[in-house]
Structure 1
Amino acid sequence: MSFSFEQPPDELTWYHLGPLLNAEAGRLKYNPEQYTVHGVSNNAVACCWAGLLVDGDGGLVLTDLGRSMLADWKTSPVGQRWLADQTALDEETSTPAAPAPPAPQPVPQPADQLDLFGAAL
Structure 2
Amino acid sequence: MTFSFEQPPAELTWYHLGPLLEAEAGHLTYNPKQHPVHGVSNNAVACCWAGLLADADGGLVLTDLGRSMLASWKASPAGQRWLAGQAAFDEETSAPAAPSLPAPQPVPVRADQLGLFGAAS
TM-score (norm 1): 0.82
Q: How much is the aligned-residue C-alpha RMSD, in angstroms?
A: 2.3
Structure 1 residue 118 corresponds to structure 2 residue 107? no
> Offset at 1:79?
0.8
Provide the residue aligned with 1:25 in structure 2: 25
Partners of 1:115 and 1:47 in 2: CA distance: 72
Q: Are 1:46 and 2:32 an aligned pair?
A: no
Q: Which blocks of at least 5 consecutive residues in structure 2 are unaligned?
A: none
SS in 2 for 1:118: coil
After TM superposition, the structure 1 = structure 2 runs for residues 1-121 of structure 1, keeping only pairs within 5 Å, are 2-97=2-97, 99-100=99-100, 102-103=102-103, 105-106=105-106, 112=109, 116-121=113-118
The separation in 1 between residues aligned to 2:112 and 2:58, in whole angstroms, is 63
One-letter code aligned to 2:115: G
Gaps of 5+ in 1: none
1:114/1:4 CA distance change after superposition, 3 Å: farther
More helix by share: 1
Stretches of 4+ aligned residues off by more than 6 angstroms = none
Residue 15 of structure 2 aligns to a residue in which SS? helix
Aligned to 2:51, the other structure's residue is in SS state coil
TM-score for both structures, normalised by structure 2: 0.82
Please, which moves more after superposition, 82-91 or 32-41?
Answer: 82-91
Deviation per residue, 1:27-74 (Å, 9 max, x gap): 111111111100111100000000000111211110111111101111
Q: State the one-letter code of the partner of 2:12.
A: L
